[in-house]
């Protein structure tokens, strides 16, 4: 979106008065020529400025996506890559295979539910802590920030391994604690045995390592709200919930929306946590999400074509979600 800003700024000027004024005293034709030249120049100018961004975008985004789509249209396995078997164009066969496979739909459903739960929980935890942070004494607040930034800074792989260790059936601290307070049925309890318990465990790890981003951003947003506005509302007799609902939330909207889109994209793309904590997708693949499923098909099973088709579907889904979001934004007049 930001890339388009110069274009929009240019347009009002482009219609009427030229930015380079004709030389005074010049003949009619010379003036016309100059105007025409400057028009051409003006047509090219924004593109010149945008060129570096476009080149980078095409190299880093356009080309990989093009190859992804391209590969997904072929029967492309290890034998084809290393030149042992002929490359065969199969059109949409990979997609048809996926759509006909009930496992794909289960995995897609898992992914949507899992990501949605993670997004909602992350936002709830992050925002509540952000509100809490504004009311805390500075040193308590600093402690909260340091602690949560520690969680944020932990690499996903390390975090997952540590959580898995905490929830280990026999040696884990969690089960030991639960047993020691009298809940003896947790002795040897496996948290990943049941599908939803497994997803729950991974979701809590995901929330743990991603809420700090929401916390920091929303906290910054709250701090940026001018105190005068809130004071004015208070003088007008607004209650605290009313201030939160009618003043603070609308002012925080852009931030909340950015954070939400980010969370949706991140949580849809979760890989390491599921891969490590459920050992590659759980018992009989019950905890597979799209990304892990894609990895399993593309790299472990060397079905690169099929895996790419999954990648394309994933990309398309995320693009749709993002576009819908931007659309809603535009309609409510809150362009980013």
Residues that bind other proteins (CB under 8 A): 3-4, 7, 54, 58, 62-63, 66-67, 70-71, 74, 76, 78-85, 87, 89, 169, 188-190, 192-193, 279-281, 283-286, 296-297, 299-303
Residue 322, token pair as written in the block: 């993002």
Shortest Cβ 64–other proteins spacing (Å): 11
Q: Which is nearer to other proteins, 83 or 241 (CB)?
A: 83
Q: Which is nearer to other proteins, 27 or 78 (CB)?
A: 78
Q: Which is nearer to other proteins, 36 or 193 (CB)?
A: 193
Of 281, 279, 292, the residue nearest 164 (C-alpha): 279
Distance CA 110, CA 222 (A): 34
Q: Which helix (H) or strand (E) holds 251?
A: helix 249-268
Shortest Cβ 7–other proteins spacing (Å): 7
What are the Cα distances from residue 210, in Å, to 251, 262, 300? Answer: 23, 10, 28
Q: Which is nearer to other proteins, 67 or 322 (CB)?
A: 67
Of 78, 73, 66, 67, the residue nearest 88 (C-alpha): 73
Q: Taking the mean position of all CA atoms in its chain, how far away is CA 4?
A: 21
Shortest Cβ 287–other proteins spacing (Å): 11
Distance CA 20, CA 6 (A): 18
Shortest Cβ 286–other proteins spacing (Å): 8
Of 229, 275, 228, the residue nearest 250 (C-alpha): 229
Buried b / exposed e along 326-336 (16+ C-beta atoms within 10 A): eeebeeeeeee
Shortest Cβ 303–other proteins spacing (Å): 6
Q: Which is nearer to other proteins, 142 or 158 (CB)?
A: 158
Q: Which is nearer to other proteins, 34 or 179 (CB)?
A: 179
Is the dihedral angle over the CA atoms 110, 207, 255, 61 positive or is it negative?
A: negative
Shortest Cβ 277–other proteins spacing (Å): 12
């Amino acid at each position: 979106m930001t890339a388009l800003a110069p274009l929009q700024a240019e347009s009002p000027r482009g219609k009427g008065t030229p930015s380079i004024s004709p030389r005074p005293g010049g003949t009619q034709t010379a003036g016309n020529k100059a105007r025409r030249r400057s028009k051409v120049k003006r047509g090219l100018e924004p593109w010149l400025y945008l060129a570096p961004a476009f080149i980078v975008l095409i190299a880093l985004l356009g080309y990989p996506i093009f190859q992804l789509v391209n590969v997904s249209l072929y029967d492309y396995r290890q034998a084809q890559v290393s030149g042992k078997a002929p490359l065969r164009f199969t059109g949409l066969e990979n997609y048809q295979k996926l759509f006909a496979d009930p496992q794909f739909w289960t995995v897609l459903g898992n992914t949507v539910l899992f990501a949605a739960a993670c997004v909602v929980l992350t936002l709830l935890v992050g925002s509540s802590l952000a509100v809490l942070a504004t009311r805390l004494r500075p040193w308590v607040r600093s402690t909260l920030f340091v602690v949560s930034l520690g969680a944020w800074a932990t690499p996903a792989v390390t975090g997952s391994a540590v959580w898995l260790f905490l929830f280990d059936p026999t040696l884990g601290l969690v089960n030991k604690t639960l047993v020691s307070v009298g809940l003896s049925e947790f002795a040897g309890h496996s948290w990943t045995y049941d599908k939803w318990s497994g997803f729950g465990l991974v979701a809590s790890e995901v929330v743990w390592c991603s809420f700090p981003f929401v916390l920091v951003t929303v906290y910054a947003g709250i701090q940026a709200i001018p105190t005068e506005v809130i004071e004015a509302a208070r003088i007008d007799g607004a209650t605290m919930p009313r201030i939160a609902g009618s003043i603070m939330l609308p002012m925080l909207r852009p931030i909340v929306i950015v954070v939400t889109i980010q969370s949706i994209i991140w949580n849809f793309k979760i890989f390491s946590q599921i891969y490590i904590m459920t050992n590659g997708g759980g018992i009989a693949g019950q905890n597979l999400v799209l990304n892990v499923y894609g990895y399993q098909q593309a790299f472990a099973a060397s079905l690169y074509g099929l895996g790419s088709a999954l990648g394309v579907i994933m990309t398309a889904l995320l693009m749709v979600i993002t576009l819908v979001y931007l659309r809603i934004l535009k309609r409510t007049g809150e362009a980013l």
